[in-house]
Amino acid sequence: MDAIQYISKRLLLMIPILFGISVLTFFISHTIPGDPARLILGPKADPVIIKELQEKMGLNDPVYVQYGRYVSGILQGDLGNSTYTQQAVVNDLKRYFPATLELTLFSMIITVLVGIPFGIISANKKDKIPDQITRFAALIGVAMPAFWLGIILLLFFYLQLGVLPGAGRLDTWVSPPAHITGMYTIDALLTGNWPVFQSAFIHLILPGITQAAVTIGMITRMTRSSMLEVLRSDYVRTAYAKGGSQNRVLYGHALQNGMMPILTLIGMTFGHSLGGSVLVESVFSWPGLGKYAVNAITYLDFPAVMGVTLLIAVLFIFVNLIIDIFYQVIDPRLKYE
Amino acid sequence: MVRRIFSSPLTLIGFILVFILLFLAAFAPLIATYNPLEVNFSNKLQPPSSAHIFGTDEVGRDIFSRIVYGSRISLKVGLLVVVISFPVGTMLGAIAGYFGGLVDQIIMRLTDIFLSFPGIILAMSIAAALGPSIENVLLALAVVWWPWYTRIVRSSVLSIKNAEFIESSRALGAHPFRILFKDILPNSIAPASIQASLDLGFVILAAAGLSFIGLGAQPPSPEWGAMLSSSREILREAWWAATFPGLAILFTVLGFNLLGDGLRDVLDPKQR
Amino acid sequence: MTLLEVKDLKQHFTINKGFLGKKTTVKAVDGVSFSVNEGETLGIVGESGCGKSSLGRSILRLIEPTSGEIKYKGKNITDLKGKDLKDLRKEMQIVFQDPFASLNPRNTVRDILEAPLIIHGVGNRKQRLEMIENLIGKIGLRKEQLSNFPHEFSGGQRQRIGIARALTLNPKLIIADEPVSALDVSVQSQVLNLMSSLQEEFGLSYVFISHDLSVVQHISDRVAVMYLGKIVELAEVDELYSNPQHPYTKALLSAVPVPDPKQKRDRIILQGDLPSPVNQPTGCTFHTRCPMATAECKTIVPELREKSFGHWTACIHV
């Protein structure tokens, strides 16, 4: 079977998953709260108004009718209106998504650039000092409450030293670059706007590091164990026996094969970063999906919370899908089964 | 075996950290020097001193005493979430792995759906739907956590279900449920139990995160995440208010992680 | 008297391959017939992958036979279900190959031996323990060892525990699937001798499955030779070993080492590998490796025929 067939099969298998996700989010938003109308209007609302809204929302219809309406709404890009911003949730998501994507991508880059090399060093120096230190650091990273790390970094670099900005995506005196991707650093580069790029970049540093701390720990550990497995294998020993130099064996043979499971983990950490954005963005007042969701929670703005949930879930499974496909295409052993 | 567990210094540290947590939770009223909820405005924003070793917060409450009492909340959430989700996940995983076929398909697609959400996001929306309270966070986390155990148990069941001693039980006419409980589960539960001990830490971390964004424990509860959340208002004046609750979370998660890793090294030497 | 009768038994496995569910069939057992008399040992010998283990498991109904008929004491047991199947378990038991995998590592020997009695509701706890203590003496272990775990025993001891477990319910027929293959040669004969003496004491019948020709010769009354899911030759043990008819049997026997270096032998070296049971050759499945093969062998499927009294062969050239 060829790659195209495999990809179409995987896309086909997405349908039941997306169906399941929609059932779950429907259940959360329509069944758990007992009365979504009351949830939208708040606990102190007038019962008459609640009754009106119940009628308007069709809450007295059978469940499957409500589900049908919910799904057809989603398919038409209708996620309801935010009770807080008074905007269509879809429009809000479009507005806040680029900021989250920018932060997530930046933290993923840090994660890969730091985590993989340290994992390799750790595996190569197994049980020696560098390995011990790396493993301990990774352990701390995994156990670290990211939202606390963010606060501590703010305390030190912003309040104490004053070398890095504390909140937002840009300095107040800088206006955002022309909207191309919505990611300020990239848009600034594309338009050649150097000062804006600088401002956008230094604002990314603290939240990026905060976001990356946990995922670096995860990637380092995975790289280490994956490399150790490969280094123990017969073909690596053969390569050494043939007289291959350490670097050649390490980067030529071992890394290539050790990368496979790491790739899968990168997909998982992407999901972790998206999830963590809820916490990190609210520490740094980063105007992305996470901050939007947390505001929504504060104002009991339920359609907005569900909109973010749905978007992040869909993003997460598509990223994993892409990684899976990539994985299959580059690993000759897996025969699309 | 006990000696092998503690032969690693890291595992010993983990054990000590967990022990301290249990000790604080058990004897909180004896250890805490103040009432964790007692407001004393004349004493607000005091830096760490001999009277208040972790300082006081914006309304003059003793942060050390609050952290001590907070250990009870965190421990309760961690334990209850694992106690609810572990048996559910384990049973579903064992059933899926052993019976296979349609049952397996249904259970595994269900876990796929739950795992296609980043855990904290799904827990956030469930907790938001239930309404903000620590009990609802607990429930939401339990709903999110079980699929991990299902996957782990299923794969270890698959690896032993064709072992000859299982076949022998079948040849002896044992009922499938007898085989499941007497032969399969006892031999496939170790990896999931290790995960559960690690998860105690991660559940506490997640619950603190949800409280941090306003979903879990509500002020004035001395929950660590909620304390961190309100410390942001006074960050400029009182570094201690943010530092110590965070350290408490970090050491708790670290303790369960180290202990879980130590268990893994002993029970499953291949992972090292 | 005939205890077990197997008629045209087939055990096919379907494997789903690929996205659109291309199904391929593996014919592990493909039309096997034989019978076992009371108190007799029937040896079944063949290379690994010839379907002999599947045969044993489908007789016991551990896997469901695709077609064919299995009769026990004249009664058709192919479709037994529920309580009837459970009752049959008391009559037929199995001894496995791997003494390290066949005992639950978390149970003591007492648990392992008591389980069959509990499952079938035999006696009360005290009676069951008496039965177990009685049994453990017969396999040469001590009562005190009952509370030990499997890993505290040697391979031979474990295999004897496996045999004891099979005997707890007083069965008439034991399927022994390579019971000594995983053991050291010195331990093999101990276990074989134990099996022989238990056979006399309890009046057991064995279906003894092995790839080892000399082990089979040692213990069997009659021997069936299997190749790719089919029996190609079946005869009394002495007849088969002294006067093999089928070219495959001849080749197998010529490969057995002989202790006398001066004895002249013609070794028959088989060409090629065992074909995959997925793509079986047409006609006689052995023709691809047979030194006597002719053009007809590619088309004619040879039947198992009684060529002389009690000596059955499936080859058109014999």
Q: Considering the entire predicted model, what is its pTM?
A: 0.84
Tokens 């301990």 belong to: A136
Cβ separation of A6 and C19 shorter than 8 Å? yes
- Give the Cα separation of C97 and A264 in Å (integer): 39
Judged by average pLDDT, the poorest of A226-240, A296-310, B168-182, C153-167 is A226-240
List the single residue in B with minimal CA-CA distance to C92. Answer: B171
Residues of A with CB under 8 A from a CB of C: 1, 5-6, 9, 336-337
pLDDT digits (tens, 9 = 90+) for B188-222: 888 899 899 999 999 999 999 999 999 988 888 99
Cβ-in-10-Å burial (0-12, 13-18, 19+) of C167 comes to buried
pLDDT for residue A42 is more than 90: no
pLDDT for residue A60 is more than 80: no
List the single residue in C with minimal CA-CA distance to A336. Answer: C18
Interface-testing mutation among B21, B117, B198, B224, with chain A (most A C-beta atoms within 10 A):
B117
List the single residue in B with minimal CA-CA distance to C111. Answer: B182
DSSP letter string, B105-160: HHHHHHHHHHHTS-HHHHHHHHHHHH-SSHHHHHHHHHHHHHHHHHHHHHHHHHHH
What tokens does A69 get?
């309406």
What tokens does A151 get?
């606060």
pLDDT digits (tens, 9 = 90+) for A208-256: 999 999 899 989 988 888 888 887 777 777 777 777 777 777 776 667 6
pLDDT digits (tens, 9 = 90+) for B72-83: 999 999 999 999
Q: Which residue has the higher pLDDT, B8 or C152?
A: C152
Asked whether the beta carbons of B229 and B210 are under 8 A apart, the reply is no
pLDDT digits (tens, 9 = 90+) for B107-117: 999 999 999 89
CB pairs under 8 A between B and C: 57
What are the extents of the domains in chain C? 2-91+171-313
The reported pLDDT for the residue numbered B272 is 39
The reported pLDDT for the residue numbered B20 is 95
**Which residues contact residue A322 at a Cβ distance below 8 angstroms, ignoring those fewer than 6 apart?**
none
Cβ separation of C96 and B170 shorter than 8 Å? no
- Give the Cα separation of C311 and B204 in Å (integer): 74
**Which residues contact residue A150 at a Cβ distance below 8 angstroms, ignoring those fewer than 6 apart?**
A206, A207, A210, A279, A280, A283, A284
- Give the Cα separation of C316 and C318 in Å (integer): 6
The reported pLDDT for the residue numbered A34 is 64
Considering the four listed CATH numbers 3.40.720.10, 3.40.50.300, 3.30.70.990, 3.40.50.2300, the one that applies to the domain covering C2-91+171-313 is 3.40.50.300
Count of domains in chain A? 1
List the single residue in B with minimal CA-CA distance to A284. Answer: B232
Judged by average pLDDT, the poorest of A265-269, B239-243, C170-174 is A265-269
pLDDT digits (tens, 9 = 90+) for B48-68: 988 888 989 888 899 999 999
Cβ separation of B168 and C85 shorter than 8 Å? no
Kindly report the average pLDDT of chain C as a whole number: 87
The interface predicted TM-score (ipTM) is 0.90
Residue A202, domain extent: 98-287
The reported pLDDT for the residue numbered B23 is 95
The reported pLDDT for the residue numbered C164 is 92
The CATH number of the domain where A116 resides is what?
A: 1.10.3720.10
The reported pLDDT for the residue numbered C19 is 47
The reported pLDDT for the residue numbered A335 is 47
What is the second-level CATH architecture of the domain B2-271? Orthogonal Bundle (1.10)
The reported pLDDT for the residue numbered B2 is 66
The reported pLDDT for the residue numbered A330 is 67
What are the extents of the domains in chain B? 2-271
Cβ separation of C85 and B183 shorter than 8 Å? no
Does some domain include residue A69? no
Residue B115 in contact with partner chain A when CB distance is under 8 A = no
Phi, psi of C32 (to 5 degrees): -110, 135
How far is the alpha carbon of A220 from chain B, nearest alpha carbon, in Å? 14
Kindly report the average pLDDT of chain A as a whole number: 85
Cβ separation of B231 and A151 shorter than 8 Å? yes
pLDDT digits (tens, 9 = 90+) for A116-159: 899 988 988 888 899 989 988 999 999 999 999 999 999 999 99
- In chain A, what percentage of residues exceed pLDDT 70? 92
How far is the alpha carbon of B182 from chain C, nearest alpha carbon, in Å? 9
pLDDT for residue B138 is more than 90: yes
pLDDT for residue A332 is more than 70: no
Cβ separation of A144 and B208 shorter than 8 Å? no
Does some domain include residue A33? no
**pLDDT tier at C263, thresholds 50, 70, 90:** low
- In chain B, what percentage of residues exceed pLDDT 90? 62
The reported pLDDT for the residue numbered A336 is 41
Does some domain include residue A168? yes
Residues of chain C positioned with their CB less than 8 A from the CB of B189: none
How far is the alpha carbon of C52 from chain A, nearest alpha carbon, in Å? 29
Q: How many degrees, rounded to 5, is the angle at CA B133 between CA B130 and CA B138?
A: 80
